[in-house]
Structure 1
Amino acid sequence: MTTVHKMFAAMLAAALGLTACSSGGGSQSSTAPTSSAPGKQKVSFLVFPSPNLPESYWKAQVDLVTKANPDLEVELVSAPSESDRNDYAKQLAASGQLPDVQIGMQDLVALEPNLAPWSQEELTDFLCPTCGAVNGKVLQLPTNTQTIPNVYYNKKLFQKAGISAPPKTYAELLADAEKLKGKGVTPFVSGGVFVTSQPWTALLANDLYAKTSDWMAKRRSGDAKFATDAAFRSATQKFADLAAKGYIDKRQIGQDYPKTQEAFLAGKGAMYPMGSWFAAAADKSPIKDDIGVFAWPSDDGSLHMPTFTGGGLSVSASAKNPAAAKKFALAFQLQKENLDASVKADALFPAIKGYTPPSDTGPVFKATYDLWQQAQQSNATVPAFSWEAGDAAMLPGMQGKFWSTAQDLVSGKKNVDQALQFLDTEWEKSG
């Protein structure tokens, strides 16, 4: 993470000092004034291109909105790095350069004065209008639900190791990992930034949140700590053991997010703990029919699906035309064509009343969506640790600390005691 942050700092300095890319293929300053066509209301829109959502995606979706709302003119501002988007957005806000509308970011949402609140009337179309609220204010549209993580697996590699079905308990998962390792197959594909932490989040869903759903509130009030909570320690020890047994290959943590995805799709590991958005890339791959999905199993086999609802657009409190910015954000989030595109491009589950996914989605998306529906019907959803929103989230900056600590546990740089003490120390600094 140190190298990543150094690289990001350099990119950020360059981006703030020079320009931000526009989706039109040229280069356009994120702060320099530009003229709008007569009768147009201009809105600047900060996006974070990723493997699933390149700049061409954002441009196409914005074009759909402006076609339906010809009074709007939207300037796309692309961040230099998707992986450190929280830091980038906070830096823009601190320097007075935050665009009018942004993809939701938890650290930015936590800095409440930066964002304009949404009224109850503006949120009537959303299934969970209070999700992610900060001090009773909704600052980010609660547009999408994601399950984080699922466990995607390569059916052929399971068969190679003599595994006929996904594991139902954690003991079975460990036994399967040992079988895979014995056949020379890496059990879990891992990588840098947030990817390494995915198994830890899954373990915390079962060992911590399934038993204490309000644990984060207790940590915020000081009634719980990382180092002294038995359930948190148990999940962390299990995570460290996965690396110690060689089920997570520490040599992979130098890979970036796109490389981890490529590695799994290339058969370089049997299981890929990842958010539901991976289903979009999986369904575009040649091996889509060989990819299955299951929920990370608990000790007793009961289902606990880590889930996040939020992820929508937010509007800057300093937007030059707040009404136009909100009009664009709502139109972008509620237009059916855009919602369908988000399902196909990023495997999102739109949390919009009356919405159903397109019938022509791929097999991996359908399996992932069905797994979430099963959890919903069984009342088996729990928060996804480090992905929570609003008042239920970690303090600003702690998400990145959690992710970097996961890498330190896998690499052996920190043992469990050191990792948990580090998180407590950093929490106190953040508070």
Structure 2
Amino acid sequence: MNKAIVLATAALTLAACAPAGSQQPVANGKKEISFLVFETPNLTPEYWDAAIKRVTDKHPDIAVKKLVAPSAGERNAYAKQLLASGQLPDVMQAIAPSGLAESGNLYAWSEEELKNYAYPRSNPLGGKIYQLPYNSQSTPLVYYNKKLFAEAGVDAPPRTYAELLDVSSKLKAKGVNPFVVGGGGKDAFAAGYIWIALVGADVYARQPDFLVKRRAGQVKFGDPAFVKATQKFADLVKKGYVDKAGLSRDYPSTEKAFLDGKGAMYPMGSWFAAAADAGADAGADAGKPPFEIGVFAWPTDDGEVVVPSYTGGGPIVNARSKNLEAARTFALEFNQDAANNDVLVKSDAAIIAINGYQPPRMGPVYNATLEVFKSGKAVNAFTVETGDDSLLPGVGDKVFALAQEIIAGKTDGAAAAKALDEEWVKAGGQ
């Protein structure tokens, strides 16, 4: 039995002590709700515990039972496991509603409840909003080691895809690994960021409704634009620009590899800015990288700045919770508490999409990330969509598995696209 299954089994056993949908007020009169979270190097157990306490301090009638997904990448599948076993938590943070909401399992937020959000209609499912849209993220941008760039004779980040290839060639000629990637163990999703970037730059920039059309059977992954974008990924691997050692790294190890200077470019979500600035603040004496980190959007063929991004990430609520009012209250307060958001910005480089919110003073990488985020054409981030334009259930996992195969050199653009179309049909699509 692998580690992920062991962890999932343990967590299911824990959840079974107080399954969602059957909680009753506890003996001291408090209403207990379960709250499913996930942990990353930025979102530690201490982060979640402190954030939960800020809300329960304001609402002492609510007691929270924290549940933890086996990993960040498995959190959506894990929520579905809990649903299948009749243990869907009362509140779930950053869980995609697709595959859960369709059967009436999730609470739909009202216009009044969404009035404080900058993008209140983000990611609708059937015209309804199930996930609070409080956090915007670029997925991914490209973070780079300015020292390694300079040593390779590169004095500025690439603006076009041709320039990106030239930069990669110069880095490799200097014995430097151009791209740091991950994808090992339970964190298969970490293999997918180059592919996500390419789909954003080459497909979504021209066809922003590509997945809506895919759901309608009007386009396929096997269409030329998607195959071309995917083949670029395979060609980067073939040229030796992508570090295949990443397939043995989990997500934290991948981040550490870049911070340890084991490669020049790191395609990653905007949340990485928190770790980058923490390293700069700590200094070399604390074992942090002795180099400056810059950031740019994945280059397009014509130089247009395209920024794959997503606004959502907030809680979803079990519509069948016995303590539904408490669950709704907790979810709204968790997202709108200013102190919680300040900590999230500092710990996870969040770009808070709540009207009137002012972030705390941040470091140079976060500020540069925010500048890039605002500078380009916003498109959806492939695999991250959670509304009517999301991937069908299970297809996202296939994307990440195929990304691992591409990095391993086992498949190419056409074959990967064909496999996705086959998986799409298996999932019930056209």
TM-score above 0.5, yes or no: yes
Q: 1:150 aligns with which of 141, 144, 163?
A: 141
Deviations 1:341-367 (A, max 9, x none): 1111111111101112112x1111111
Q: Secondary structure at the match of 1:177?
A: helix
Q: Secondary structure at the match of 1:284?
A: helix
Q: 5 Å matches for 1:113-262? A: 113-192=104-183, 193-227=188-222, 229-262=223-256
Q: What is the number of equivalent residue pairs in this alignment?
A: 413
| RMSD of aligned residue pairs (Cα, Å) | 1.8
**Structure 1 residue 98 and structure 2 residue 94: aligned?**
no
Deviations 1:267-289 (A, max 9, x none): 00000000001111111113386
What is aligned with 1:84?
A: 74
What is aligned with 1:24?
A: none
- When normalised by structure 2's length, the TM-score is 0.92
What displacement does 1:34 show?
8.5
* Sequence identity percentage: 50
Letter in 2 for 1:248: V
Q: 5 Å matches for 1:10-25? A: 10-16=6-12, 18-19=13-14
Name stretches of at least 5 consecutive residues in structure 1 with no aligned partner. Answer: 21-27
- When normalised by structure 1's length, the TM-score is 0.92
Q: Secondary structure at the match of 2:202?
A: helix
Change (3 A) 1:7 1:271: same
C-alpha contact (below 8 Å) 1:171/1:299 kept by paired residues: yes
Q: 1:303 aligns with which of 295, 305, 310?
A: 305
Change (3 A) 1:186 1:276: same
Q: 1:414 aligns with which of 404, 411, 414?
A: 411
Deviations 1:153-197 (A, max 9, x none): 011111111111111111111111011111111100011012221
What displacement does 1:9 show?
2.9
What is aligned with 1:318?
A: 320
C-alpha contact (below 8 Å) 1:109/1:140 kept by paired residues: no
C-alpha contact (below 8 Å) 1:189/1:252 kept by paired residues: yes
Letter in 1 for 2:338: K
Letter in 2 for 1:381: A
What displacement does 1:60 show?
0.2
**Distance in 2 between the 1:13 and 1:349 partners?**
34
**Distance in 2 between the 1:330 and 1:370 partners?**
28
What is aligned with 2:282?
A: none
What is aligned with 1:25?
A: none
C-alpha contact (below 8 Å) 2:40/2:72 kept by paired residues: yes
What is aligned with 2:65?
A: 75
**Structure 1 residue 58 and structure 2 residue 39: aligned?**
no
Change (3 A) 1:322 1:278: same
Letter in 1 for 2:382: F
Change (3 A) 1:210 1:108: closer
Which deviates the most, 163-172 or 79-88? Answer: 79-88
**Distance in 1 between the 2:396 and 2:97 partners?**
8
Letter in 1 for 2:230: T
Q: 1:349 aligns with which of 345, 348, 351?
A: 351
**Distance in 2 between the 1:312 and 1:118 partners?**
12
What is aligned with 1:404?
A: 401
Change (3 A) 1:33 1:121: closer
Letter in 2 for 1:317: A
Which deviates the most, 129-138 or 406-415? Answer: 406-415
